Structure 1
Amino acid sequence: MATLRETAERFGPLTDAEADWLALLTADWQIIADLAFADLVMWREVPDGFVAVAQCRPSTGPTVHQDDVVGTMAGPTRVAHLRRALDEGTIVASREPRWDETYAVREDALPVVMNGRAIAVLTREVSQVVSRSSSRLELNYKGASDDLLRMITQGEFPVHTSVTGPKRGAPRVGDGVLRLDSVGHVTYASPNALSCFHRLGVHGPLMNKSLPRVTSELVTDRGLIDETLAMVVMGRAAWRTDLEVNGACLSLRAIPVSVDGSRAGAVLLCRDVSELRRRERELITKDATIREIHHRVKNNLQTVAALLRLQSRRVEAPEAKEALAEAMRRVSTIALVHETLSGTLDELVNFDDLAGRSMRMAADVASPGVQVKIVREGDFGLIPAQFASSLALVITELVTNAVEHGFVGREHGTITVTARRNDTDLDVVIADDGVGLSAKPTGLGSQIVTTLVENELGGSLTWKRVAGGSEVDVHVQVKDR
């Protein structure tokens, strides 16, 4: 999908500042379309006339354009109307509705001004298919849209500090609208906005009341007040904040309205997000619980490893010492995975860091008398948490096996671990420059590796004797199944 800049530059160059300004406008013009009950279309002048580079349909009423108009040229009868708006630098209303197929459309054109210069033309297009008197809500919505459109012609909208883009709980026009004067008094409150404030404990109408005073009377715990709340409810800052009182939570967004650079009031959007915030708190609690569980499992596994270490010191038989050391190493590897999981809320584990730590630990424990250099090539990437323990054990066992059996009678050696990754599969090659395999291993470690690869990771592995050492090729699936 092409960006606005890519679409616009098909018909002529744009500076970075112009592209940023138009992108900021289109990121916020859904509010204007909903307030105006109208389609908005942005036009750029080209040698042959005007071409549409962006459009926005209202969610509060029917659309004028059933098809996408981006990339189409304005009809010959509309060019003079668009050029007049560009030249005069003000809103130009059409004298007569134009006919699109079987219905009439009333169109207003206005320049999009940046730093005192018009860089595009915006049209507000409303279907005249239904003729009736406007309700009080519609009149106030259209009045608010007129304020914002006039700011566009003066280069005062969009506002750089405005909170735009997809944000969870962001209020929309349909959620509730208030209009404020220059001192924060309510000049209009939509029925949905009244319902939102009634949930907070506000009784009676809001008309002609000071919104800053109303909200200050609601908040009893001053220590929990967002510092931006006062600026938002007065309409002084183009920002967004939450107001939480009596178990209810409102998301508030202010859009200051100015005339010739002087503040004249504001449009305030509000939305009841009580249920959304409750679910977010539940998720945070669950995430904290899961992290705490991983932390406790890690501590318990480290305790088990310490007990195995103590037990190994009290036994004399070499085979028993070796078996306990291997068990301790495996438990420590699993503890390392849980330590990693306890430090993140993600369901994906950055396995490169985890693999580096587990391989170094395996090499140090397996044969303290041999200096082993581990070389890593490629990236493991992000691995789903449910596969991390099994994959870490597989790599640890294979590195341990290479150290214990590949460098017998040697003081140093090199193990190369190569990872090749795509969206669903991971190939890992563990090669050493040791004595090489005489036969496929049949010990407990190899049995553990085979079981984990085939049953837990849905993969396969191959043992090879190669020139200058041995090699194990592991292929596993690392996508949720």
Structure 2
Amino acid sequence: MATLRETAEKYGPLSEAEAEWLALLTADWQIIADLSFADLVMWRKVEDGFVAVAQCRPSTGPTVHQDDVVGTMAAAGRVAHLQRALDEGGITASREPRWDETYAVREDALPIVMDGKPVGVLTREVSQAVSRSSSRLELNYKGAADDLLHMITRGEFPRQMSVTGSRRGAPRVGDGVLRLDAAGHVTYASPNALSCFHRLGVTGSLMNRSLPRVTSELVTDKGHIDETLAMVVMGRAPWRADVEANGATLSLRAIPVTEYGERIGAVLLCRDVSELRRRERELITKDATIREIHHRVKNNLQTVAALLRLQSRRVQAPEAKEALAEAMRRVSTIALVHETLSGTLDELVNFDDLAGRSMRMAAEVASPGVQVKLLREGDFGLIPAQYASSLALVMTELVTNAVEHGFEGREHGIITVTAERTDESRLRVVIADDGKGLSAEPSGLGSQIVRTLVENELGGEIVWRRTETGSAVDVHVQVGE
């Protein structure tokens, strides 16, 4: 799907600043469409007239355009109206409704201004198929929309610092709308907005009351007030804030209304997000619990490794010492994975860092008298936590095997680890050394552990082979669904 900039640039060059301005407008114009109960269409002027480059349908009323109009040229009868909006520089109403199939459409056009220069035309199109008298809510919604549209003609909307992201719980027009004057007094509150504040503990009407004072009286825990809340309820800044009281949580978003740079009021959107915030807190608690479990498992495994180390010091038989050392190394590798998981909320592990640490530890423990140079090529990428322990053990065993058997009788050696993602779910790893090479496929406990993990836990295959400079192991494993 083409971006707004890609679509717009098909019909002429667009500067970086203009593209950003238009993208910022389309990121926030759903509010205007909903307040207007109307479709919005963005037009660019071209040699043959005007072409539509973006559109927005209302969620509060019927749409005019059943089909997308992006990429279509304005009809010849509409060109003069669009050009008049550019020439006059304000909101221009069509002299007569136009007919689309069986119903009439009333259309307003206005220039999209940035830094005093028009960069496009915006049309607000309302179907006349449904005839009804405007309610108080509709009159206030349309009045708020007109305020924002006038700001577009002066280059005062959208706001560069406005919060337009899709953060969970973002309030929408249907959730509740308030209009404020310059002093923060409520000049209108929609029924849904009034219901939201009643849940916070407000009694009676909000009309003509100071919203900052009302909010301040509701919040009893002054130590946990959102620092931006005062600016939002005054309508001074285009920010978002949450307010909590009486077990309810409201998400508020302010859109200051300005006239030639002077703030004359604000439109405030509100939404009851009590249940959403409660679930988020539960998830945070669960995440913290999971991290704590990983941390405790890591500590317990490190204790087991320390006990194995103490036990190995008391054992005289070389085979027993070696067996305890191998067990200690494997436990330490699993502990390293849990240490990594305890520091993240994600179920994905950055395996490049984990692999580097586990392989260095394996090389140092396997043969302290050999100086091993570890080389890395390619990236492992992000590995799901369910595969991390098995893959880390495989890497540790293979590096250990290369050090112990490939470099026997030598003072130094090189191990090269090459990682390659063959697709999103498959990983190929090659561990090569410049040692004496393989005489036969390994059959010890370590190789048995590796084969079992690769084939049974990681759904892959493993092949040992001799090379011109030593030996190599090819591992193909599944690291995703």
TM-score (norm 2): 0.99
Q: Which residue of 1 aligns with 2:6?
A: 6
Deviations 1:177-219 (A, max 9, x none): 0011111111111111011001100011111111111101101
Q: Letter of the aligned partner of 2:305 in structure 1?
A: A
Is 2:167 the counterpart of 1:167?
yes
Q: Letter of the aligned partner of 2:389 in structure 1?
A: S
1:391 CA drift (Å)? 0.2
1:225 CA drift (Å)? 1.2
The whole-number CA distance in structure 2 between the counterparts of 1:85 and 1:468 is 77
Figure out how many residues of one structure are paired with residues of the other and give that number.
Answer: 480
The whole-number CA distance in structure 1 between the counterparts of 2:254 and 2:375 is 56
Q: Which residue of 2 aligns with 1:153?
A: 153
Matches of residues 299-448 of structure 1 in structure 2 within 5 Å? 299-421=299-421, 422-448=423-449
Q: Letter of the aligned partner of 2:345 in structure 1?
A: L
2:11 aligns to what SS in structure 1?
coil
The whole-number CA distance in structure 1 between the counterparts of 2:130 and 2:308 is 83
The whole-number CA distance in structure 1 between the counterparts of 2:420 and 2:261 is 59
Q: Which residue of 1 aligns with 2:477?
A: 476
The whole-number CA distance in structure 2 between the counterparts of 1:359 and 1:115 is 58
Q: Letter of the aligned partner of 2:291 in structure 1?
A: R
1:144 CA drift (Å)? 0.6
1:228 CA drift (Å)? 1.2
The whole-number CA distance in structure 1 between the counterparts of 2:416 and 2:251 is 55
The whole-number CA distance in structure 2 between the counterparts of 1:222 and 1:368 is 60
1:88 CA drift (Å)? 0.6
1:409 CA drift (Å)? 1.4
Matches of residues 133-282 of structure 1 in structure 2 within 5 Å? 133-282=133-282
The whole-number CA distance in structure 2 between the counterparts of 1:442 and 1:84 is 85
Deviations 1:306-338 (A, max 9, x none): 000000000110000000000000000111111
The whole-number CA distance in structure 2 between the counterparts of 1:415 and 1:136 is 77
The whole-number CA distance in structure 1 between the counterparts of 2:467 and 2:119 is 68
1:161 CA drift (Å)? 1.5
Q: Letter of the aligned partner of 2:479 in structure 1?
A: V
1:260 CA drift (Å)? 2.8
1:165 CA drift (Å)? 2.2
The whole-number CA distance in structure 1 between the counterparts of 2:309 and 2:269 is 63
Q: Letter of the aligned partner of 2:10 in structure 1?
A: R
Q: Letter of the aligned partner of 2:164 in structure 1?
A: T
The whole-number CA distance in structure 1 between the counterparts of 2:273 and 2:91 is 37
The whole-number CA distance in structure 2 between the counterparts of 1:258 and 1:308 is 72
1:10 aligns to what SS in structure 2?
helix
1:305 CA drift (Å)? 0.4
The whole-number CA distance in structure 1 between the counterparts of 2:313 and 2:262 is 82
The whole-number CA distance in structure 1 between the counterparts of 2:125 and 2:452 is 67
1:3 CA drift (Å)? 1.3
Alignment CA distance shift 1:261-1:371 (3 Å): closer
The whole-number CA distance in structure 1 between the counterparts of 2:462 and 2:309 is 31
Matches of residues 31-180 of structure 1 in structure 2 within 5 Å? 31-180=31-180
The whole-number CA distance in structure 1 between the counterparts of 2:412 and 2:36 is 77
Q: Letter of the aligned partner of 1:303 in structure 2?
A: T
Deviations 1:419-444 (A, max 9, x none): 11131100011111111111111111
TM-score (norm 1): 0.99
